[in-house]
Structure 1
Amino acid sequence: MLEALGSLAAALWAALRPGTVLLGAVVFLFLDDFLKRRRPKNYPPGPPPLPFVGNFFQLDFDKAHLSLQRFVKKYGNVFSVDFGIFRSVLITGLPLIKEALVHQDQNFANRPLIPIEKRIFNNKGLIMSNGHVWKEQRRFALTTLRNFGLGKKSLEERIQEEAAYLIQEIGEENGQPFDPHFTINNAVSNIICSITFGERFDYQDDQFRELLRLFDEVMHLRTSTCCQLYNIFPRIMSFLPGPQHALFSKWEKLKMFIAGVIENHKRDWNPAEARDFIDAYLQEIEKHKGNATSCFHEENLIYNTLDLFFAGTETTSTTLRWGLLYMALYPEIQEKVQAEIDRVLGQSQQPSTAARESMPYTNAVIHEVLRMGNIIPLNVPREVAVDTTLAGYHLPKGTVVVTNLTALHRDPAEWATPDTFNPEHFLENGQFKKRESFLPFSIGKRMCLGEQLARTELFIFFTSLLQKFTFRPPENEQLSLKFRVSLTLAPVSHRLCAVPRG
């Protein structure tokens, strides 16, 4: 019987041509993809996806946040786009964003663990973790940051001191053209470093500058086309050459740097007294020693430190770089800011948050920089934790949700001149005016935990720099508002002249 079956199988195989087998395999793969991609009942509308890649090639990844806006016009404020087999939904407009991130926050609290994030984070740290791990790590981070000065006068004094170092560093350029990128990165990073590492780093510290460059490269590589394709075809892209391998390699280098800092801390660590965030976390690890289920361990310390370093450096320093660039491009606005500084502070009094209420124009300019700079244009993505209904549409568990901050901050119904740099958007009768449709730090339980720190840094650094310098374009060089796509939208590389004020 077995011999007969074997002969029949052999005869069938001989009868099949290689082309037939290949065609059958292709048909099977297409059928499998179709079944996986079949949209649930009452799912948001969207552009028709292609097999395997979804809507990947319908987006321009050099300006994905802008290319998505054309779908808003066609499909409305809730529409779907597919990346490979990953379903995602873009939501537009303040009412829907609040509905998802505030009123139904439990349903939208997760971060999506798509292949590249799983490879890098695997539910560790503060930004990309979920569930119990995220709650425990965020609670600890908030408490510890407050203990080390977040929201207190002592931290404001640290920022003022760093602003003085930054002024001195820029003053050494003697009004000549210079690239402000890593100098400003270093200054801003020193604030979070003083909390996490217990020290600041000199602007000439080659090792620290290399760390800042490494971070910049990692963020830029993360948005490359090859890394996007890795999310669709992780197994194939693991074998193919490309930037995805450089991303993983550089990420490991960043982890090794932080691991080295932690080892240095351990050498002279006093468990009874925490000098900084790392010390406090080491204490927490000791408390949970012997608990196999604890999420307080050294690897999570590395990821938390990297997350704090990223969150405490990149967004604020990028906003400051946009701010100085806008001042150089809009000299009449820069003059108004300096007139207010001269009237309220003069040339000798250091800027402080206490002075902010007396400086509505400067405050409005900083808010307009945040609006126009559009640093995180589509917010940090969320994932639907349970089957959910939003705006009458069914969103199955696992759907990736993206909030359209670009449209919110450029909505002509909300902003008088949405595409023009105009501080009057935040002024009313000469006084500063808060705007509900302004969410650069997001909203809800997963909003930026460093918002207060970032706002303090932006005001003190920006005001201190404009108190001492006038920023201008170099002679015969044209400044541009073009952006470089990374995990944030940053200005393209440029030079400025910081001319000392008399």
Structure 2
Amino acid sequence: MLEHLTEIASGQLAWSVVTAALLAICTSCLLFQKWNEQGTKGRLPPGPRPLPIVGNLLQLDPKNMPKSLMALRERYGSIYTIYLGSQPFVVLCGYQVVKEALVDHSEEFHGRMDYPAFTDFTHGDGIAFSNGEKWKVLRCFAVQTLREFGMGRRSIEERIQEEARCMVEELAKTKATPTDPSFLIGCAFTNIICSIVFGDRFEYKDNKFLTLVGLLNENLHHLSSSWIQVYNMFPGIMSYLPGPHNRLFKNYEKIRLLILETAKMHQETLDPDFPRDFIDCFLLKMQQEKEDPFTYFHMNSLLMTTQNLFIAGAEASATIVHYGILILMKYPELQAKVYEEIIQVVGPHRSPLFEDRVQMPYTDALIHEIQRFSDIVPMGVPRAVTTDTHYCGYTIPKGTGVIAFLSSVHRDITKFNDPEVFDPTNFLDKKGNFNRSEAFMPFGVGKRVCLGEPLARMEIFLFLTILVQHFILQPVVPPEEIDLSPISIGLIAIPHPFKFRAIPR
């Protein structure tokens, strides 16, 4: 009897092994067939050989994808293919290749690739990860609405100045004691978007506001974790596994409910003749098109679009200002030159204006160099070709993912002198005049350039100049010990946390 059971068990084990082997072979064959079909339909650029299921995952570092992509560029050149799971992505490197694709061939390269860490929640609503006609309509509406509020009774510049002054007042209260600026910076930049989207700013102690700031900040760190990199490759599997990625979606839902609460309050007090903010304008558009069954203006689209604005308009700009403070502390001699120029042009008391930058070439150059060097969106946001595309001697099938490797543009030795070194003269000519480099692409380029670019440029300039105007930014460690490398890199590169002393001038 025992021998019989042993024989059955052995047979079952053998069958399991055979089954697993057959599944592996079938999977390999299916993937090979898929790659072969793509090779027949198109001819993708060469790249490292992918493995079944995992693709090139074992040849990439999810904690530092830019480093992995740069290493592959050394081997395969400025255009190559990698597989994230079973999904091919064409990687574009260097200024010339990225510019030719995203600008000269913008119609073919302006699609948005599925990004599960967002799209599994948004389901394609909103601006950032929509495509086709929906994207064009929603983006056009957002750009026009933001432009109108920038020219309204209270301009966007005035809102930014108000928040910058609030931050100065709060920093003055620290009396030059070591302070972590992340909370104040997060509050200030979130409040700017709140004033545009909700029509009003919040006090920094408001519970609802603090909840929103906390959720946005937590999600920023989740989106920059290696967990999310893996989730984007294997969403089907990861959705069943525990991990920080689950917290990301719970936070999305909490933010959605906060925005929904505000939107419903706006609906009750909506005056068609006097829209107060972005939400009012969107609600009016919903009313105008309520009879259209194919309209893109509905409540979920409003909620997702608003979330997009908070991520692009608050978190990215706040991160750049974090890097800016670190860099100004690491190079105090540069901070001194910026202060000297501020005093010459603006003086010690008047708040800087965005138009002042024309007379402040060194400050403008330094702020551009901060954005180039910090490189906070190193891989851009994933794109997709909208049609079978002939490019650089290859044929890229419709729907293939594209990574515009912006870090390789900002580190292009043909465009920047010693790009691994922080140097404001990258944006100055020989006479000391500001000289904007064509390889400056922190907001992307082409049809998918970040719609919040004008707002972000104004925010970064005004915040950093007001800070230097009022304070000496002093580190609590020797300047040479300040680490400018990111603590994590995902969608956004996150700087190391730090404390500093804001010493009144």
Range class of TM-score, shorter chain: over 0.9
Residue 496 of structure 2: which of 469, 476, 492 is its match?
492
1:130-209 correspondence to structure 2 within 5 Å: 130-149=131-150, 154-209=155-210
Which amino acid letter does the alignment assign opposite residue 480 of structure 1? Answer: D
1:367-378 correspondence to structure 2 within 5 Å: 367-378=368-379
SS of aligned partner of 1:303: helix
1:204 deviates by 2.4
Q: Distance in 1 between matches of 2:237 and 2:470?
A: 54
1:106-145 correspondence to structure 2 within 5 Å: 106-145=107-146
1:446 matched to 2:444: no
Give the 3 Å change call, closer, same or farther, for CA 434–216 of structure 1 in structure 2: same
8 Å contact kept, 1:411–1:418: yes
Which amino acid letter does the alignment assign opposite residue 202 of structure 2? Answer: F
1:152 deviates by 9.4
Deviates most, 114-123 or 349-358: 114-123
Q: Distance in 2 between matches of 1:370 and 1:480?
A: 16
Correspondence for 2:228: 227
8 Å contact kept, 1:116–1:231: yes
Residue 20 of structure 1: which of 13, 18, 37 is its match?
18
1:155 deviates by 2.1
Give the 3 Å change call, closer, same or farther, for CA 150–457 of structure 1 in structure 2: farther
Which amino acid letter does the alignment assign opposite residue 447 of structure 1? Answer: V
1:150 deviates by 5.8
SS of aligned partner of 1:497: strand
Encode CA deviations 1:468-498: one digit per residue, 9 max, x unaligned: 0011111579432131324311211111111
1:248-327 correspondence to structure 2 within 5 Å: 248-327=249-328
Give the 3 Å change call, closer, same or farther, for CA 260–320 of structure 1 in structure 2: same
8 Å contact kept, 1:89–1:400: yes
Q: Distance in 2 between matches of 1:29 and 1:155?
A: 54
Give the 3 Å change call, closer, same or farther, for CA 44–300 of structure 1 in structure 2: same
Residue 481 of structure 1: which of 480, 484, 493 is its match?
484
Correspondence for 1:467: 469
Q: Distance in 1 between matches of 2:218 and 2:373?
A: 24
Encode CA deviations 1:65-86: one digit per residue, 9 max, x unaligned: 1221011111011000001111
Correspondence for 1:40: 39
Encode CA deviations 1:7-48: one digit per residue, 9 max, x unaligned: xxxxxx99x944433433332222223222335153201011
Q: Which runs of 5+ in 2 are unaligned?
A: 1-10
What's the TM-score once normalised by structure 2's chain length?
A: 0.92
Correspondence for 2:69: 68
8 Å contact kept, 1:125–1:307: yes
Which amino acid letter does the alignment assign opposite residue 29 of structure 1? Answer: T
Deviates most, 476-485 or 121-130: 476-485
Q: Distance in 1 between matches of 2:153 and 2:407?
A: 32
Q: Distance in 1 between matches of 2:501 and 2:384?
A: 44
Which amino acid letter does the alignment assign opposite residue 82 of structure 1? Answer: Y
8 Å contact kept, 2:63–2:226: no
Q: Distance in 1 between matches of 2:272 and 2:425?
A: 52
What's the TM-score once normalised by structure 1's chain length?
A: 0.93
SS of aligned partner of 1:445: helix
Which amino acid letter does the alignment assign opposite residue 40 of structure 1? Answer: G
Correspondence for 1:347: 348
Correspondence for 1:419: 420
Which amino acid letter does the alignment assign opposite residue 379 of structure 2? Answer: L
Deviates most, 241-250 or 83-92: 241-250
Which amino acid letter does the alignment assign opposite residue 458 of structure 1? Answer: I
Encode CA deviations 1:395-431: one digit per residue, 9 max, x unaligned: 1111111112111111222211211111111112111
Residue 30 of structure 1: which of 9, 25, 28 is its match?
28
Correspondence for 1:7: none
SS of aligned partner of 1:87: strand
SS of aligned partner of 2:21: helix
1:131 deviates by 0.7
Correspondence for 2:460: 458
SS of aligned partner of 1:432: coil
Correspondence for 2:384: 383
1:395-434 correspondence to structure 2 within 5 Å: 395-428=396-429, 429-434=431-436
1:224 deviates by 3.4
8 Å contact kept, 1:376–1:488: yes
8 Å contact kept, 1:220–1:487: no
Give the 3 Å change call, closer, same or farther, for CA 18–145 of structure 1 in structure 2: closer
8 Å contact kept, 2:224–2:494: no
Give the 3 Å change call, closer, same or farther, for CA 153–202 of structure 1 in structure 2: closer
8 Å contact kept, 2:81–2:88: yes
Task: Indicate the RMSD between aligned Cα atoms, in angstroms.
Answer: 2.0
SS of aligned partner of 1:217: helix
Correspondence for 1:212: 213
Which amino acid letter does the alignment assign opposite residue 203 of structure 1? Answer: Y
Runs of 4+ in structure 1 over 4 Å off: 150-153, 475-478
Q: Distance in 2 between matches of 1:37 and 1:228?
A: 23
1:225 deviates by 3.6
8 Å contact kept, 1:182–1:209: no
SS of aligned partner of 1:438: coil
Which amino acid letter does the alignment assign opposite residue 487 of structure 1? Answer: L
8 Å contact kept, 2:361–2:432: yes
Q: Distance in 2 between matches of 1:114 and 1:404?
A: 16
Which amino acid letter does the alignment assign opposite residue 25 of structure 1? Answer: L
Q: Distance in 1 between matches of 2:248 and 2:122?
A: 13
Give the 3 Å change call, closer, same or farther, for CA 25–147 of structure 1 in structure 2: same
SS of aligned partner of 1:40: helix
Give the 3 Å change call, closer, same or farther, for CA 171–49 of structure 1 in structure 2: same
Give the 3 Å change call, closer, same or farther, for CA 153–92 of structure 1 in structure 2: farther
8 Å contact kept, 1:188–1:316: yes
8 Å contact kept, 1:319–1:373: yes
Q: Distance in 2 between matches of 1:114 and 1:369?
A: 28
SS of aligned partner of 2:344: helix
8 Å contact kept, 2:113–2:382: yes
Which amino acid letter does the alignment assign opposite residue 355 of structure 1? Answer: D
SS of aligned partner of 2:395: strand
Give the 3 Å change call, closer, same or farther, for CA 364–258 of structure 1 in structure 2: same
Q: Distance in 1 between matches of 2:175 and 2:490?
A: 31
8 Å contact kept, 1:381–1:401: yes
Give the 3 Å change call, closer, same or farther, for CA 213–143 of structure 1 in structure 2: same
8 Å contact kept, 2:178–2:499: yes
Q: Distance in 2 between matches of 1:144 and 1:59?
A: 41
Q: Distance in 1 between matches of 2:497 and 2:476?
A: 13
Q: Distance in 2 between matches of 1:133 and 1:150?
A: 26
8 Å contact kept, 2:352–2:465: yes
